[in-house]
Amino acid sequence: MSSAPVPDLAERADACADVLREADEVLLASHIDADGLTSAAVASTALERAEIPFEAVFKNQLDAHEIATIAETDYETVLFTDFGSGQLDDIARHERAGDFTPVVADHHQPADAETRYHLNPLLEGINGASELSGAGAAYVLARALEGDEGDNRDLAALAVVGAVGDMQASGGELRGANAAVVEEGCEAGVLREATDLALYGRQTRPLPKLLEYSSDVFIPGISNSESGSVEFLSGLDVDLRAPGGGEWRTWVDLAPGERRTVASALVRHAIQRGVPAPKIEGLIGTTYTLLGEPEGTELRDASEFSTLLNATARYERADVGLAVCLGDRDGALDRARHLLRTHRRNLSEGLQWVKEEGVTREEHVQWFDAGDRIRETIVGIVAGMAVGSDGIDRGVPIVAFARKNDEETKVSGRGTPSLVRSGLDLSAVMSEAASAVGGKGGGHDVAAGATIPAGREREFVDCADRIVGDQLG
């Protein structure tokens, strides 16, 4: 490949692309979150442009049963995106049996088994939790599949949405191999990278709501306070309402000078209220704008786009999320927005439940068991949102349980970048603790999950607490 976005992965990407070109038909199997959906969209677009017939399917999780189901199909070649590496033991077993030829484009921790066509940044010393997402791996593969119709650089926009949705910009910007994807997207004219206010909702939220819901950086007197946000904005020497004193404008409605006025006042307010300097620095960050999408919509901003996608597949409508990624701006987008409203309501109710019930604190972890009060597909998001709330320590990893079915419990673990820097690896925690109680787990160092037999939650907590203690010394 003459111009690989991530040179260290070029040889692997070329090998994967070659076997896909030789396939009569490909089954594309992908995960259901924002990173999985964008991975599937990037891969399916590249396959279509390369004139490779394919069918796409989505899995909430990839386990031995799901892999066996895939093996029973007539497809001789299966492309796994945003999962597959952690399940290589089962995948390789079917490969040896001649059931199918696997091609894996993933970024999660690989299992011990090996397969010939495996594209994963971790295999080349690139951090899959912070430097390249599943969509990024799919993008590298798509670039290797470039053909007469183009080099697929326009797909960088979706790859960035996947990386942002996978929380890889939590440090303020996308780094490492992700940065190379961003650069190609900017060169292709589909992305704009800029320094701006780093609050969620710049495209769609009225200014008071933008500030009121600023949960990433808590600003006393403004965050979680509608009246405080309105009072702050009303006191600025700038007209922040529509002409005639109408509705509040959004952030993207403001001129550059108006944005500077609001941002400067916000920083001063935070300093006066004693917000620590590192937190204040978090108010400003790198933003990623999709230039092909209408301004003022959730599709224009990578962060808002990823949230919209998360709201589709987590409610069994991965087909809707994929359709939006592939350009359906009519029926699919309307359905996605409806699901987003439901998603936000469920997250709010779940977070309120956690605040009311509280968490149980062990020596090294804190945890809660939501049972069937929170959907197992969103309990990890709720756990991440809860960190830092009253009574929930941001300096301790959180483990959340939710009922998956009568026999199984879903486990989600969330940490912080500072805990990871101190040695936390939740992927190892989930894998080892789940294995100890007869389940399976994995993921990333800062966020991971597992499925365990129902009734073994207490044993899991004890094991996880010990492992975290060992990791953090």
Task: Select the CATH number that applies to the domain covering 7-165 from these four: 3.30.750.24, 2.30.30.100, 3.90.1640.30, 3.40.50.970.
Answer: 3.90.1640.30
- Contact (Cβ atoms closer than 8 angstroms) between residue 110 and residue 59: no
pLDDT above 90 as % of the chain: 80
Structure confidence by residue, pLDDT tens digits, 373-383: 999 999 999 99
Spatial CB neighbours of 415, under 8 Å, sequence gap ≥ 6: 397, 398, 424, 426, 445, 446, 447
pLDDT of 388 reads: 66
Predicted TM-score (pTM) of the model is: 0.87
DSSP secondary-structure letter at 85? G
Task: Give the integer Cα–Cα distance in Å for 59 and 318.
Answer: 9
pLDDT of 149 reads: 66
Between strands 101-105 and 77-81, the pairing is parallel
Q: According to CATH, where is 3.10.310.40 located in the chain?
A: 358-472
**CATH code for residues 358-472:** 3.10.310.40
Q: Residue 119 forms beta bridges with which residues?
A: 105
- Contact (Cβ atoms closer than 8 angstroms) between residue 120 and residue 128: yes
Task: Give the integer Cα–Cα distance in Å for 193 and 163.
Answer: 14
- Say which range, 101-110, 156-165, 241-250, 446-455, has the weakest mean pLDDT: 241-250
Q: Residue 287 forms beta bridges with which residues?
A: 194
Structure confidence by residue, pLDDT tens digits, 387-398: 866 678 888 999
- Say which range, 25-29, 147-151, 409-413, has the weakest mean pLDDT: 147-151
Predicted confidence band of residue 4 (pLDDT cuts 50, 70, 90): confident
Greater confidence, 385 or 14?
Answer: 14
Residue 158 has pLDDT above 90, yes or no: yes
Alpha helices in 145-176 (DSSP H): 156-165
Tokens of 211: 């500030």
pLDDT of 223 reads: 86
pLDDT above 70 as % of the chain: 98
What would the mean pLDDT of 56-79 be, rounded to a whole number? 95
What would the mean pLDDT of 182-187 be, rounded to a whole number? 98
Residue 1 has pLDDT above 50, yes or no: no
Predicted confidence band of residue 2 (pLDDT cuts 50, 70, 90): very low
Tokens of 399: 């483990």
Structure confidence by residue, pLDDT tens digits, 245-284: 689 999 999 999 999 999 999 999 999 999 888 888 889 9
What would the mean pLDDT of 209-222 be, rounded to a whole number? 85
Structure confidence by residue, pLDDT tens digits, 11-44: 999 999 999 999 999 999 999 999 999 999 999 9
The secondary structure element, H or E, covering residue 148 is none
Structure confidence by residue, pLDDT tens digits, 91-111: 999 999 999 999 999 999 899
pLDDT of 69 reads: 97
Q: According to CATH, where is 3.90.1640.30 located in the chain?
A: 7-165
What would the mean pLDDT of 363-369 be, rounded to a whole number? 97
